[in-house]
Chain A
Amino acid sequence: MFGEGILKGLAETARNFLGSYVSKKRLTTVQYPEQRLPQIEAYRNFPFLVYDGDDWQQGLRCVSCFICEKECPPKCIIIEKSTDKKPDAVGKLQFYPKVFNIDVSVCMSCQICVEVCPFDAIKMDTDFELSSTDRFSGLLWDKKHLAKSNEHYHKIHPTEAAAVDAQLAAERAKIAAKTKATAEAKPATPTPPANANGAGPNAANQPVPTATEK
C-alpha cells in the first residue's frame, strides 16, 4: 500500500512520544540548570595550580621550570621566575613563579601541560560555568586565581588525586630515607639538607639546576 513506509515511521514516533510518559529511558531531556547530570570524573576544563596545606603561596608546588610554557601548543601560559627561593614539601629550597598567567580565552584544555609537569603542580579543573563580563583581563587568570588546594583536587578527581598523593608520598619517603642514610653515614660533619642532586625519581626530567643550594 502506498504510504506504508510513512505509517511505519509514524508508529515509531508515536512509540517514542507515548513511551516517554511511561519509561524513563525514553525521557532523555534534562532540564538544565535546575536538573544536572552527574559530573563524570575524568572531565577536564581549564588548568589550575595545586598547593599543599593551607597557605597558597607557601604550599604551591610549582617551581617555575617553564616546561608547561614551552610545551603548551597555543602558548597561553606566561611564567616569570622569582629571584628568591622558598622551601618545598621536603624542605628543599626551590624557585617559585613570581608571575603565572594563563590566558583562558586561548587555552584549549588539551591537557599537555598536565602531562609534562614533573612536579604534579598543574592539574585540570572541571568548572565550566565561567563567563566573565570583561573580555580581556577577566579571562587572563593570574597565580592567585589559579591556585587551588589539594583538597579541591581530591574533591573533583578523587581517584587521580589519590594516585598522585600516593606517588608523591613514596617519593618523599625515598628522599627522607636517603637523607637519613647520609646523616647516619656522616655523624661528625653537619649534614647538608636533602642531597637531591642525583636522588629522587624526578631527577631524570628536572631541568632546573638543583645544585645551587647553600
Chain B
Amino acid sequence: MSTATEPVRILPQSPANSGSDSGEGQLLEVSMGPQHPSTHGVFRMDVVLDGERVVRLKPVFGYLHRNHEKIAEHETYLGSMPYTDRLDYICSLTNNWAYALAVEKLAGIQVPERAEYIRIITAEMTRFLNHAALIGFLTQDMGASGTPLMYAFRERETILDLFESLTGARMMCNYMRFGGCRVDLPAGWLDQAKKFAATLPRFLEEFERLLATNEILMARTQGVGVLSKEFAVNAGVTGPVLRASGVNYDVRKVDKYGIYDRFAFKVPLGEHGDTYDRYMIRLLEMHESLKILNQALQDIPEGPIVDPKTKIRGFRPKPGEAYGRIEAPKGELGFYLISDGTANPYRYRVRSSCMMNLTVLEDLCIGHNVADVVVILGSIDIVMGEVDR
C-alpha cells in the first residue's frame, strides 16, 4: 500500500530524525503522493517510517485549490450557488443549503414551510448517499475490491435519479435559493420517494449482514486510530468522527436550524473512538436519516416554494456579516459572509469540515502501520473539493 510517487530516500541525518529514536536503524521518508488509489482525491501525505511503523505524518494538500473564495468576491450572491455544489461534490444539496442559510441569516429572509420540508428531505437523502459511498469506499480501501461498494452504489443510483428528476442534474444540483428552493416537486416524485424509502431498511439489513460482523473488518479497524474526546473537541473535529469519540454534538440538535426540532431522531455516539466506531456510526446514522426521511415525507404540507419577496436579480443585502452552519454529512459546514451593500460579497469564507477533520490525521496515525494509515484516512472521510476549495 505504500506506493511512492518519487524514489524513496533514506535520510539518516535529515531533520525528520530529530526527536525520534535516532541511532535505531534508519528512517524512511515516503510520499504517499497525490496520485494514489486510496487517498480519496489529490491528497499527499509525507510519511516518515521506521520499518512499517509511522513516526511522523504531514498532510499536504492544495492540489485542487480553485480559489473559490476569490471567485465569489467577483460573482453575485446567486452566481456563487453553482460553485458551492462543487465544494463537497458528493453532497451538493447540503452545500447549497449551508450557503442559502448563511445568506438568509445575513439578509433576514424567511423560508416557507414546504421549502423547509423539501430541504430536509433532500438533505437526509444526501446524508444517506454520502454515508453509503463512504462505507463502500472504506471497505474497498481495506481490500474488499468493489463488491460492498457496488451494493451501496445501487441505492445511490436510485437517489441520484430522484435528484435528477427534481433538480435536473445528478450531482451538481444548484437547487436551493435564498428563501426556498428553485422548483417545486414534480408530479409523482413524493410517491417515488416513499416507495424508495420503503426499500431502504432491507438494504441496510443486507449491508449489516454483509460486513458488520466480518472478522477481517473488525481486526483491521478495532483499536486503530483511537481519537480521544478532549483532543477531538480541541482540534475542531465535527460530524461522525467527533460523535464516534463519544461527544454528543450534532448541529441539527444544537442550532435547530430549518425545522429539525419537529423531527424525532437520535444521535448515535461511539465509545472507543476507533475506526470501527467511525464505521458503525455511519451505519447507525443512516438508520436515523431514514427515520427523519419517513417523517418528512409523511408530513410535507402544500404551499409556496420560495419567499415571494426574494429577487433573483439585483439582490443586495444590507451591510453586515453572518456565519451560518449546518450539519453536513461530513461535519460542520459553515459559510461566513461579509456584505458591504453591493451585489458581490466583500468576504466569502467556507469553513470546511473535511479540512478541520484532517487536523487529527497525524496524531491518529503515529505508531500504526502504513496499511492502517489508509484505513484511518478513509474513516475520516475527506473530499478534496472541500479541503482545498
Contact = CB atoms under 8 A, between A and B. Distances in A.
Interface string A72-115: 11000000000000000000000000000000000011111001
Contacts of B70: none
Interface in A18-45: 28, 40-44
A108 B211 contact: no
Nearest to A10: B210
B9 interface: no
B172 interface: yes
A72 B174 CA distance: 13
Nearest to B79: A73
A124 interface: yes
Contacts of B78: 71, 112
B147 interface: yes
Contacts of B79: 71-73, 112
Contacts of A28: 154, 157
Contacts, number: 77
Contact of A42 (B164, B209, B214): B164
A11 B214 CA distance: 12
Interface in B213-250: 213-218
Given A5-B214, A6-B215, A12-B210, A42 B313 contact: no
A205 B313 contact: yes
Contact of A116 (B81, B209, B312): B312
A8 interface: yes
B182 interface: yes
Given A5-B214, A28-B157, A112-B79, A40 B165 contact: yes
A159 B186 CA distance: 10
Contact of B312 (A8, A9, A12, A115): A115
Interface of A: 2-6, 8-9, 11-13, 16, 28, 40-44, 67, 71-73, 108-112, 115-116, 124, 159, 205
Given A5-B215, A12-B210, A43-B168, 19 more contacts: A4-B215, A5-B214, A6-B214, A9-B210, A12-B209, A28-B154, A28-B157, A40-B161, A40-B164, A42-B168, A43-B164, A67-B313, A71-B79, A71-B313, A108-B82, A108-B172, A112-B78, A115-B182, A116-B312
9 closest residue pairs by CB, A with B: A5-B213, A110-B82, A73-B79, A44-B168, A5-B214, A12-B210, A9-B210, A42-B168, A40-B164
